[in-house]
Amino acid sequence: MFVVEDNGYAISVQTPTQTPGADIAANLASFKQLTIWDGSGTEPSETADLVIKAVEHVRAGKGAGLLRLTVPRLSGHSSVDNQAYKSPETLAAEWERDPIPALQRYLVPELMSEDEWTGLQADIKAEVLAARDAAMAYPFAESMSVTERVFAVQGEPQLIGGLVAEGIELPVGNDTPNPPDPRRLNMLEAIRRTLDVELHVNPRCVVFGEDVGMKGGVHAATLGLQATHGESRVFDTSLSEEGIIGRAVGMAYAGLMPVPEIQYRKYADPATEHINNCGTIRWRTNNRFAAPMVIRMAGGYRRIGDPWHSVTSEATYVHQPGWMVAVPSNAEDAVGLLRAALRGNDPVIFLEHRAMLDASWARRPYPGDDYVLPFGQAKIVQEGSDLTVVTWGGMVERCESAAAELQASIEIIDLRTLMPWDSGCVLASVQKTGKCLIVHEEIEISGFGAEIAATVAKEAFVYLDGPVERLGAPSVPVPFSTVLMEGVIPQVDDIRDRMGELLEF
């Protein structure tokens, strides 16, 4: 049931400028399975009749409804809005439509006496003032509590949203790989297999997005899942990222585990407001509501570039409160992190790097149906004592290749998740090596590498034998040309040279 109190203004802008034809109800008249009631909100008998019809219609399960009531806005939009943009004639006309006097004229003397009306007014005023006084007397929260309830806390379930609120517990799993066979899967197949297993394990898990159904996704990550689990569990949506994420929030409230797919990282931008709001639900409601979900999105360079399909910008989501962020570099980690996200109680951004989806280096044996990799647990790809290299996603392979070209003992750390990130692992390594290089393909300015560098500079300053270095992309879009793209995305030679410079410092 949608109710629109149409007062004709958006602060100072009048409806004809805001809404074509100045009537949102008329604009939605062609929507199927949407019944519309349109009338005045200032005429008691008409208003009551419309409200009763609309409510009965929706409660009877006859479909969605929209009730538009035209009402005057008798005060400003906010305390600083004096409505100087309204003429005296307009203000007078609006006060003539004040619904309270209209209600009085309707009730008195037909349904109640003047004294009864006066008594009713007094009772309501007393009730409002009592509510105000109770609100004013309510103590403020302690300022130190402002950082609480951003993420789920074990043993403190939310009241509404996600599986936890429904009292549903999924298998815990473990972080020890147990490959059923030695065959190496590419990351794409690993993701598909994990989704298939979790759709079986959790009947409330639903996978959806553009082209994920019959086609199996533009990257083939959901290929065959609709045929196995049915159209109610794996289904296509319209081309509306905002609608996809908005729908996912509603599903999470209803106790489902939604897994929306955004085809490319840059495509998520239209859904920015929904994503931001979703991350703050738990905090804004003091743990009453939550909307756990896993947003899968591909990104990063692959063969050719362009400003819309080759973007990473993972720091955007790390900067949004309430979101966990996973950036696996290989098939095994993708399985463990995706399963942890699907069985978790927080919203997760799961970034699937396009270059690693079918890369030979990223292939690993399937670690088993019980493999769950905790967030915030980095992996030391190779140990070393001369230099610490911190990286993630598509840069891990390149850092490994660059290190192989140098006669030095280089420790490479794959963070695997950026929110939370394993600062303990990084700091322990820097204390051992005395030097740190951070490599990512995202734009270097304000990239996540800056957070790591700041932490190392503060927490491991006395151990450093050189400057904390970063290597990322220049502040330009990813170009189409592969030659130009190589000038943006860090190459193996670039990484090797920066390693060498820091080793010689």
Co-location of 359 and 424 in the same domain: no
Tokens of 28: 């939605």
Q: For a pLDDT cut of 70, what percent of the chain falls above it?
A: 100
Burial (CB count <10 Å: 0-12, 13-18, 19+), residue 80: exposed
Q: What are the pLDDT digits (tens) for 83-115?
A: 999 999 999 999 999 999 999 999 999 999 999
Total-model pTM: 0.91
Using alpha carbons only, what angle is made at residue 180 by residues 174 and 185, rounded to the nearest 5 degrees? 95
SS (H, E, C) 465-500: CCCCEEEEECCCCCCCCHHHHHCCCCCHHHHHHHHH
Nearest to 313 by CA among 187, 422, 473: 473
Co-location of 77 and 37 in the same domain: yes
**Alpha carbons 65 and 58: distance in angstroms, whole number:** 7
Q: For a pLDDT cut of 90, what percent of the chain falls above it?
A: 95
Nearest to 57 by CA among 21, 90, 33: 33
Nearest to 271 by CA among 246, 293, 234: 246
State the first-to-last Cα distance of the chain, in angstroms, to the nearest integer.
67
Domain containing 49 equals: 2-107
Return the pLDDT at 416.
98
Query: Count of domains in the chain?
Result: 3
Judge whether 186 lies within some domain.
Answer: yes
Co-location of 305 and 426 in the same domain: no
Co-location of 224 and 353 in the same domain: yes
- CB proximity list for 302: less than 8 A, separation 6 or greater: 310, 354, 355, 357
Judge whether 394 lies within some domain.
Answer: yes
Q: Please identify every stretch of the chain with a pLDDT value under 50, giving residue numbers as ranges.
A: none
Return the pLDDT at 482.
87
Return the pLDDT at 161.
97
Return the pLDDT at 303.
81
**Alpha carbons 269 and 195: distance in angstroms, whole number:** 25
Please, what's the largest Cα pairwise distance for the chain? 98
* φ, ψ of residue 261 in degrees (nearest 5): -105, 130
- CB proximity list for 286: less than 8 A, separation 6 or greater: 149
Return the pLDDT at 126.
98
Q: Which helix (H) or strand (E) holds 192?
A: helix 187-201
Co-location of 345 and 396 in the same domain: no
Co-location of 352 and 383 in the same domain: no
Q: What are the pLDDT digits (tens) for 114-123?
A: 999 999 999 9
* Active site positions, annotated: 309
Tokens of 109: 């003397």
Co-location of 229 and 352 in the same domain: yes
Co-location of 304 and 242 in the same domain: yes
Co-location of 319 and 419 in the same domain: no
Q: What is the DSSP letter of 376?
A: T
Q: How many CA atoms lie within 13 A of 3 on its CB side?
A: 13
> CA-CA distances (angstroms) from residue 136 to 129, 132, 145, 286, 356?
10, 6, 20, 19, 56
Return the pLDDT at 412.
98
Co-location of 361 and 486 in the same domain: no
Q: Which helix (H) or strand (E) holds 322?
A: none
380-395 b/e with 16+ CB inside 10 Å = b? Answer: ebeebebbbbbbbbbb
